[in-house]
Structure 1
């Protein structure tokens, strides 16, 4: 797993991007944090500067890759920031490796279960079913450029007309994502159900969601707030899935307040 560290004078914040996205997604955020934070960004296998994964690589292996980065850099008292599928990677890390090195979690725009079923309203896109998931899988293999372009477009608030520079920031690196990595991570997240497991994550958690999200258009943040034992929820009223790009100043302030406010907790 490729990583970049920008040493700083204060707390360690480690960013994990989502499906088809790279560490460049967080460029504005890491710059906004400034020298008072020790920042690490990673690229999942097959994304950005990380090598394509071998056959058989899984979402669980992505969590193991993250553990290797944390161990190699000898990081402690880490704040993990996971965006979308990157949040699920952090859930897997914490379930498997615990909280010896990680003190805080920031879960950005993710649902604990992506598929629609009776009594569950928080599926991806508000109603992703098995047929829709299969269609997405087929498109990832047959026409990944089209899939990734649509994914980037859906990252921004419903009804918004984002600046071309913002979409290009995501799209330029996104289109380089390997098919194998897309399929491995997508198939993995579809089969993971965190609804009954996520309550075991007891560390302080910040939930961040966009009120105009097209990826997760329901009030899944409120559901997570009720399921986690030590969580707080911040809604971004003008944002969609990429709220740290849509309301960048506020995201940095919220992140700083959470990290600084829970230090030593």
Structure 2
């Protein structure tokens, strides 16, 4: 199984770790490498360690900053997470950064760009996310193909009732359909998910399913790369094609052997795709 290094080890590959206080929240972030800033935001019930392999590969040419979502806040919201992300970019005084958000981390990236604009960010990589997580008339691209508000509430209740079982199910369901991931890798990623307070997980999901970023995404005026897994069970409806068609000049990269975790399932190809996009964005900036 590719991605054996993901979520393993103590510190994140020798990264400098720090924390930023934003209001009552403390936002952890990790910095490694040098070059064009690349800010990576993980998804729901995930940590920056999910990016370990990809971050290591990208740090050869980039200043990689992994920013944690508000995993310990029972009142977590997408807006609050975007504010914390803005606080980290301000503290590091990043300019010309590429923002990479995976899953709900991409939702936070959409919110950040909608609220704070492109003063510090010059390109976006959106990995495996839909701009609207629930169905609507003419909108078939809900999470899991059909997630509705009641389903999201059930997921939140499962996270609260059985955190360990919820984490394992979430991780297993993120790998490509038809594959059986290594038990050790599933266990390591599920252990990372347990760093989240279940109340924070439920709160952030409940907030995210109420949001609709379709207009926000369509209005993006910066280089964008949409990354999706051809065998994703989380987004099985081909939402990447809609996204790429909605944003003029946007690029779409579909990883044929990946599900919801292309940076773990196909890490080398993922690193190449992101690095090449960053280089193209800089050349046309």
Report the TM-score range of the alignment, normalised by the length of the smaller protein: over 0.9
Aligned counterpart, 1:133:
152
Contact 1:59 1:89 in 2 (8 A): yes
Cα-Cα RMSD: 1.3
- Structure 1 range deviating more: 137-146 or 88-97: 137-146
Contact 2:97 2:120 in 1 (8 A): yes
Counterpart selection for 1:70 from 77, 82, 89: 89
Aligned counterpart, 2:43:
18
* CA displacement 1:176-217 (0-9 Å, x = unmatched): 210221022101110001122211211100000000000000
Counterpart selection for 1:123 from 137, 142, 145: 142
Unaligned runs of 5+ in 2: 1-26
1:96 Cα deviation after fit? 0.5
Unaligned runs of 5+ in 1: 47-51
Determine if the alignment matches structure 1 residue 166 to structure 2 residue 185: yes
Counterpart selection for 2:218 from 181, 199, 211: 199
Task: Report the TM-score, using the length of structure 2 for normalisation.
Answer: 0.87
Determine if the alignment matches structure 1 residue 90 to structure 2 residue 126: no
Contact 2:32 2:59 in 1 (8 A): no
Aligned counterpart, 1:5:
31
Counterpart selection for 2:60 from 23, 35, 47: 35
How many residue pairs end up in the alignment?
A: 258
Determine if the alignment matches structure 1 residue 148 to structure 2 residue 173: no
Q: Within 1, Cα distance between the matches of 2:257 and 2:65?
A: 27
1:134 Cα deviation after fit? 2.1
- Structure 1 range deviating more: 117-126 or 250-259: 117-126
1:135 Cα deviation after fit? 1.3
Give SS of 2:215's match. coil
Counterpart selection for 1:180 from 169, 183, 199: 199
Q: Within 2, Cα distance between the matches of 1:34 and 1:73?
A: 17
Task: Report the TM-score, using the length of structure 1 for normalisation.
Answer: 0.93
